């Protein structure tokens, strides 16, 4: 029983790891083709999909082949209706120019676009058309058949709204390619590669221990709480050590008895005291003769009296 449980857990872990390395594939065409997903398969390997597409393209069913590669996406990125309206309209059958469409939500492994391009050139004699998706430059040609290879830049590792906005720009660019084709016979295959972790350490950890994205939120919150508790302990220990050192310090090291205000006040009082001392000393040093206040009794005094 335990061996069976361990085998089941190992199988679940391998399936979860495979799903993390999976990404969707979309195909639509204005001409009939043998590539289909009538069984509504949700999972397929990249080699199986490449082999099935190669067999379908060997018949050279269209005049224009558009091979699109979108790196670092998942099926969730295409879930929003506003992210890829042009692609969604073809995949749900609302576009009259697309009589055929197929999709596989989870393709494990990468579809070899270079091999498909080489096969179309050799088997169908297709002409390569240069497309610079980064600068939005399309160099068209009137020769048929032709194969148009478009490799979009990777989506940013940011919020879902920002990823959806970039994906919508790529969808509009693909729409311009299809609308300005000089022929109505076209087949479009959109391949993707799975999203990559933000850091290599996270990737290594995920390979050893598969987990869900929801777990990261709780782990991040837990780590944040632990960091806060650690910092509070450090601050508390520092305050306790400083208080203990203050208690053991000498009196004049523990308290400040002479501040700049006290020093300036003392100098002012000393200056005023010196001024007062000089003034009192000067007044006390005055000498007045005693005879200055007596009456003159001689002849000169009598004359002044008359």
Read off the pLDDT of residues 27-54 as tens digits, 9 standing for 90 and up. 999 998 888 766 677 888 888 999 999 9
pLDDT at position 262: 86
pLDDT at position 280: 93
Which are the contacts of 149, defined by CB distance < 8 A and separation ≥ 6?
67, 69, 113, 117, 128, 129, 131
pLDDT at position 1: 45
pLDDT at position 199: 38
**Mean pLDDT lowest for which of 58-72, 148-162, 174-188, 278-292?**
278-292
Q: Which residue has the higher pLDDT, 126 or 15?
A: 126
pLDDT at position 206: 47
pLDDT at position 252: 57
pLDDT at position 237: 56
Q: Within 10 A of 245 (CB to CB), how many other CB atoms are there?
A: 11
pLDDT at position 222: 45
Name the burial class of residue 54, with classes exposed (0-12), middle (13-18) and buried (19+) by CB atoms within 10 angstroms of its CB. Answer: middle
What number is the average pLDDT over the span 100-123? 90
What number is the average pLDDT over the span 257-266? 82
Identify the band that residue 227 occupies on the pLDDT scale cut at 50, 70 and 90.
very low
Identify the band that residue 277 occupies on the pLDDT scale cut at 50, 70 and 90.
very high
Is residue 147 scored above 50 in pLDDT?
yes
Read off the pLDDT of residues 194-226 as tens digits, 9 standing for 90 and up. 877 653 334 444 444 454 444 454 454 444 444
Identify the band that residue 6 occupies on the pLDDT scale cut at 50, 70 and 90.
very low
What number is the average pLDDT over the span 66-77? 90
List C-alpha distances in Å: 254 to 169, 236, 238, 257, 260.
68, 20, 17, 10, 17
Percent of the chain with pLDDT over 70: 66
Is residue 149 scored above 70 in pLDDT?
yes
Identify the band that residue 135 occupies on the pLDDT scale cut at 50, 70 and 90.
confident
């Amino acid at each position: 029983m335990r061996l069976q449980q361990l085998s089941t857990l190992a199988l679940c872990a391998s399936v979860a790891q495979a799903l993390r390395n999976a990404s969707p594939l979309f195909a639509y065409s204005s001409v009939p083709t043998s590539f289909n997903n009538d069984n509504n398969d949700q999972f397929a390997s990249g080699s199986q999909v490449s082999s099935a597409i190669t067999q379908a393209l060997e018949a050279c069913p269209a005049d224009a082949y558009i091979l699109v590669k979108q790196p670092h996406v998942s099926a969730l990125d295409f879930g929003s209706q506003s992210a890829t309206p042009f692609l969604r309209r073809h995949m749900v059958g609302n576009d009259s120019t697309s009589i055929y469409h197929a999709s596989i939500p989870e393709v494990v492994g990468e579809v070899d676009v270079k091999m498909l391009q080489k096969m179309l050139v050799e088997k169908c004699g297709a002409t390569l058309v240069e497309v610079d998706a980064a600068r939005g430059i399309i160099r068209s040609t009137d020769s048929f058949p032709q194969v148009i290879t478009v490799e979009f830049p990777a989506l940013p590792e940011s919020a879902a709204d920002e990823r959806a906005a970039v994906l919508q720009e790529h969808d509009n660019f693909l729409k311009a390619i299809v609308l300005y084709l000089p022929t109505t016979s076209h087949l479009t295959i959109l391949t993707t590669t799975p999203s990559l972790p933000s850091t290599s350490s996270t990737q290594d950890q995920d390979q050893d221990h598969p987990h869900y994205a929801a777990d990261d939120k709780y782990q991040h919150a837990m780590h944040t709480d632990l960091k806060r508790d650690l910092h509070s302990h450090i601050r508390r220990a520092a305050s306790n050590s400083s208080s203990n050192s203050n208690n053991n310090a000498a009196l004049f090291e523990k308290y400040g008895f002479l501040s700049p205000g006290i020093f300036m006040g003392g100098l002012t009082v000393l200056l005023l005291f010196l001024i007062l001392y000089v003034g009192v000393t000067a007044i006390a040093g005055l000498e007045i003769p005693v005879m200055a206040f007596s009456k003159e009794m001689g002849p000169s005094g009598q004359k002044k009296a008359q």
